[in-house]
Amino acid sequence: ESLRAQQESLRAEEEKQRADRLAAKLREMGINPDEV
């Protein structure tokens, strides 16, 4: 059970990092991710 919880938190962390990279890329293009 704790292994599954660990995998879930890892997946959530990866999702957050992917979203952060996407937001950074949008900002570089002059788009404010908060407005989209």
Tens of pLDDT, residue by residue over 1-23, are 799 999 999 999 999 999 999 99
Contacts of 23 (CB under 8 A, 6+ apart): 33
Is 80 exceeded by the pLDDT of residue 28? yes
Task: With cut-offs at 50, 70 and 90, classify the pLDDT of residue 32.
Answer: confident
Residue 33's pLDDT band (boundaries 50, 70, 90)? confident
Q: Are 17 and 23 in contact (CB under 8 A)?
A: no
